[in-house]
Amino acid sequence: MTASDAGHARATPGFTITRAGKRRCIVLLLSVMAAPAPAQQGDWRAAAPALALDGAVRPLSAPLAIGGTAWGPWRRLCREQATRPGRPPQRDCLAVAEARPEADGVRLTLVQDQAGLRISALRGGDGRVAEFTALRADGAPAPADAARDGLLAAWRDQFATLSLERRRIAPREDVPLPVAGSPRGGTCRPEGTAALAGRPVLVARCAVELAGRLRGGESEARVAIFARMAIDIATGMVAAQGYATRIETFGAGGRSNGVVVTPSRLVLE
């Protein structure tokens, strides 16, 4: 789950959203306002794409340790977002060009060909992302570039939300979901264990609520995000995530302008 808004935002009581926090929490959602999908009837959370699990979820009956390994077999990190009803979702991927051990972690070279973006990322076995920087084609650090640096920042925040630090999770435990710049963040609760592409995962449900002002205007917005995610147990990486974003905007006098619900998906392949 990620978010972005260049304008000022006010959050729910006790919840202040900085620019970095909004970008980390919902990178994709405000771009949807230009081409909205209509809100779903009934429970809007049902719009979240299903996880492609190998079988049923088994309830968690004891604390479970996640993380400890820096990386898995994945060759791509992809995000998909539906922007218009009846049309295929937009798909954007980072290819894993190289994954080599370094210290107690792994050094990843990530490539997005259409944007000419190359990234060097260092993830430790504890789940911490120590580096996430742009590279030139020859592997040297890339010079500053405003457009590329904005794209890099979005992917950095996206990668950070998928990289959970090593920890133990107990049944029915409310696990905080960090949101940069916000003391409140979101909350996740484990459902149980399952398998995804043959690898053991912890399945969890997560929720985030935000409020603020839309970019370039005076409209206030309330944003709610519901996600169901599969966390790779060995690495602590979120291997798949299907989420729905509900945006309701308000005009003068607090009158609702309507609701937009957008389904999105993130997956390691």
Per cent of the chain over pLDDT 70 is 80
pLDDT score at 164: 94
What percentage of the chain exceeds 90 in pLDDT?
56
pLDDT given for residue 31 in this prediction: 34
pLDDT of residue 1: 60
User: 207 - beta bridge partners?
Assistant: 187, 226
Q: Express each pLDDT in 71-86 by its tens digit.
A: 999 999 999 987 776 7
Among residues 162, 171, 139, the alpha carbon closest in space to that of 62 is found at 171
Alpha-helix residue ranges (DSSP H) falling in the chain: 19-26, 146-162
In the predicted structure, residue 11 carries a pLDDT above the cut 60:
no
Q: Dump strand ranges (E) for the chain.
A: 58-59, 64-66, 76-81, 90-102, 105-112, 117-124, 129-134, 167-169, 175-179, 182-196, 199-213, 220-232, 238-250, 256-268
Between 186 and 134, the more confident residue is: 134
pLDDT given for residue 216 in this prediction: 59
Mean pLDDT (the chain) is: 82
Q: Residue 38, exposed/middle/buried by CB under 10 A (0-12, 13-18, 19+)?
A: exposed
**Judging by DSSP bridges, how do beta strands 182-196 and 64-66 pair with one another?**
unpaired
pLDDT at 4 over 80: no
d(CA 259, CA 246): 7
- Cα–Cα distances in angstroms (integers) from residue 187 to residues 87, 100, 145, 236, in the given order: 32, 33, 35, 17
pLDDT confidence of residue 23: 41
Give the closest residue to 79 by CA, choosing from 187, 188, 196, 157.
157
Residues in the chain: 269
pTM for the full predicted model: 0.82
pLDDT attached to residue 253:
81
pLDDT digits (tens, 9 = 90+) for 112-154: 977 889 999 999 999 999 999 999 888 888 888 888 889 999 8
Q: What is the mean pLDDT of residues 81-92?
A: 79
- If DSSP codes are grouped into helix, strand and coil, which group holds residue 150? helix
Summarize pLDDT for 13-63 with one digit per residue, the tens.
222 333 333 443 333 333 333 334 444 457 999 999 999 999 999 999 999
Task: Identify the burial level of 79 via C-beta atoms within 10 angstroms of its C-beta, where 0-12 means exposed, 13-18 middle and 19 or more buried.
Answer: buried
Q: What is the per-residue pLDDT for 218? A: 67
pLDDT for 70: 97
Give the model's pLDDT for residue 2: 53
Please state, in angstroms and rounded to a whole number, the distance separating the CA atoms of residues 213 and 219: 6
Above 90 in pLDDT, residue 213? no
Residue 35 confidence (pLDDT): 35
- Residues β-bridged to residue 30: none
Of 4-18, 35-49, 94-108, 211-225, give the range with the top mean pLDDT. Answer: 94-108
Which tokens is 147 given?
Answer: 């457009």
94: amino acid identity, one letter = L
Predicted local confidence at residue 6, as pLDDT: 27
Query: Residue 106: what residue type?
Result: V
